[in-house]
Amino acid sequence: MTNRKADTDEQDKPIRLAEHMAFSRSFQTLFNDGMALVDETAVYLDGPGRTEAKALSRQAATLYAAESMRLTTRLMQIASWLLLQRAANQGDMSRAQVEAEKSKVRLESVGSGQDSHYFTELPVDFRDLVDKVIKLERRIAMLDREIYGTVPEAAEPPSNPVAEQLSLLKTAFRG
């Protein structure tokens, strides 16, 4: 005899589209886009960005340096989230393990220098990268809230974000 109450309860639950997307094949597109943006940013910062930064005023160069750090921090957070989600999708980690590890990921916690009047002096390609990364970060943060029910924290920044990111990456690649 089946439990009709449990079957009815399961059917009555709303479908969470973000969760469905994050655990479906369409997640691969988001993953690929995020990792491509990591690569694109690294190539820019190591090549044309380095050259373009040398031509900036002292104030704009300072903003460029600060914004570059924010950019790479955002990308490390995004990559960590994507790798954790992929590990969950592939069955390498349970949802509980992902939730425990993703508590170290801070989405939307890094400020931006876009309000500075020197921001318009920064190279166009750099500003475009900043814009793309912020939009991707917001999209992932929205997915994260929808899937895991998290609320953006106004907590203290991690004491050593690089070490935490390395720990996340090690966890994601354990097999």
* Average pLDDT, rounded, for the chain: 80
The number of domains in the chain is 1
What local confidence, expressed as pLDDT, does residue 162 receive? Answer: 65
Instruction: Supply the pLDDT for residue 113.
Output: 83
Cα–Cα distance measured from residue 10 to residue 114, given in angstroms and rounded to the nearest whole number: 46
Render 113-130 in DSSP notation, one character per residue: -TTSTTGGGS-HHHHHHH
* CATH for 130: 1.10.8.930
- Please report the pLDDT score of residue 62 as a whole number: 93
Query: What predicted TM-score, i.e. pTM, was given to this entire model?
Result: 0.71
In a domain, residue 3? The reply is no
- Sign of dihedral through CA atoms 38, 41, 47, 50? negative
Q: What pLDDT shows up at residue 91?
A: 86
Instruction: Report the distance separating Cα 158 and Cα 44, nearest Å.
Output: 27
- Residue 128, domain member (yes or no): yes
Which structure tokens are listed for 83? 């790798």
- Asked if residue 4 is part of any domain, the answer here is no
Our measurement of the distance from residue 126's CA atom to the centroid of its chain's CA atoms, rounded to an integer in Å, reads 18
Is 41 in a helix, a strand, or coil? helix
Predicted local distance difference test score (pLDDT) of residue 102: 84
* Boundaries of domain holding 95: 16-173
pLDDT averaged per 10 residues, the chain (length 175): 50 50 72 96 96 94 94 94 89 86 83 86 96 94 81 52 65 59
Question: Would 11 be classed as within a structural domain?
Answer: no
Q: Given CA atoms 95, 97, 100, 105 in this order, what sign does their dihedral have?
A: negative
Is 78 a member of any domain? yes
- Structural domain contains residue 50: yes
In a domain, 10, yes or no: no
pLDDT in tens, 90-129: 888 888 888 888 888 888 877 788 888 899 999 999 999 9
pLDDT for the residue 155: 46
